[in-house]
Amino acid sequence: MTEKPLILVTNDDGINAPGIRTLINIMNTIGNVVVVAPDSPQSGMGHAITVDATLYVNKVTIDNGPQTEYRCSGTPADCVKLAIRELLDRKPDLCVSGINHGSNASINVIYSGTMSAAVEAGIEGIPAIGFSLLDYSWDADFQASEAFVKRITKEVLNNKLPKDTVLNVNIPNIPEKDIKGIKVCRQARGNWVEAFDKRVNPTGKDYYWLSGKFVNLDGGKDTDEYALENGYISVVPTQFDLTAYSAIKTINNWNFNDPN
């Protein structure tokens, strides 16, 4: 690519989050950057879109970088849709989402606003990557991840991605010198064992706080969870066709047309 690529940057932690500010700085060394990100945290929103409320987008200046930035009142998926349909004069060459504060490995990808933004770009035929650091703290240190984020981004730009595929990249929260490398993995089978903390407000009305613990149900050494636990960055090629192709033959043998 002779001209600088046009890179769309978004996230789910909000436009002021340290993770996205780090990602913007990295992308500024690679291409021309346009940021369209939520005006407030949208973690756990999955692929939600706004259909029953108005959306607002404001051009903003947050730091002295060369990027163009927009603050959006909607979800991460809304941000990508608005960027493509209203704010950009052409499709971006790449969409990067993150860097998320916290893991999006294993089943977390289903709930992730970070990854849903990347998937939305992928649906539009735009190469896309979701980046996450395994540190939920607002003050997380992203320095150790910077060189790897840049390397992975350049590889995607140079090699393209398979059709209908986006990358889910998770980075262990360890010093850069301790990161052993990058592993292409499959998504580990796991789930959250959830609980609700029931409380009563001053007016006597019940309310709940969601809590839970992630359980890795997968002993495989080719998974994202295994890679992360062993000091590697995990890269999971992720598709948005949810068809269970292996089940089609079995279910076709069911007698759906029997009125009894």
Range of the domain at 24: 6-188+220-252
pLDDT band at 218 (very low <50, low <70, confident <90, very high): confident
Dihedral, CA of residue 72, residue 73, residue 74 and residue 76, to nearest 10: 40
Residue 209 lies in a domain: no
Cα 115 from Cα 133, distance rounded (Å): 13
Cα 254 from Cα 260, distance rounded (Å): 13
What is the percentage of the chain residues whose pLDDT exceeds 90? 78
Q: Which residue has the higher pLDDT, 125 or 41?
A: 125
What's the pLDDT at 1?
A: 46
Cα 104 from Cα 224, distance rounded (Å): 10
Residue 193 lies in a domain: no
Beta bridge partners of 58: 71
User: Residue 60 in 3-state DSSP?
Assistant: strand
The string of pLDDT tens digits covering residues 30-55 is 999 999 999 987 877 788 888 888 99
Residue 210 lies in a domain: no
User: Residue 166 in 3-state DSSP?
Assistant: strand
- Per DSSP bridges, beta strands 68-72 and 232-239 are unpaired
* pLDDT surpassing 80 at residue 158: yes
Mean pLDDT, residues 17-32 taken together: 97
pLDDT band at 214 (very low <50, low <70, confident <90, very high): confident
pLDDT band at 256 (very low <50, low <70, confident <90, very high): confident
* pLDDT surpassing 90 at residue 260: no
Q: Which residue has the higher pLDDT, 2 or 70?
A: 70
pLDDT band at 191 (very low <50, low <70, confident <90, very high): confident
Residue type, 123: I
What is the pTM for the complete model shown?
Answer: 0.92
Residue 1 lies in a domain: no
Residue 125 lies in a domain: yes
Least confident of 91-95, 123-127, 166-170, 240-244: 240-244
pLDDT band at 2 (very low <50, low <70, confident <90, very high): low
Q: What is the mean pLDDT of the chain?
A: 92
pLDDT band at 24 (very low <50, low <70, confident <90, very high): very high
Mean pLDDT, residues 242-249 taken together: 94
Domains identified in the chain, total number: 1
* pLDDT surpassing 50 at residue 11: yes
Residue 182 lies in a domain: yes
Residue 204 lies in a domain: no
Mean pLDDT, residues 138-142 taken together: 94
Residue 111 lies in a domain: yes
Contact 174, 231 (CB under 8 A): yes
Around Cβ 27, how many Cβ atoms within 10 Å?
A: 24
Q: Which residue has the higher pLDDT, 192 or 79?
A: 79
**What CATH number corresponds to the domain at position 24?**
3.40.1210.10
Looking up tokens 């060459």 gives 93
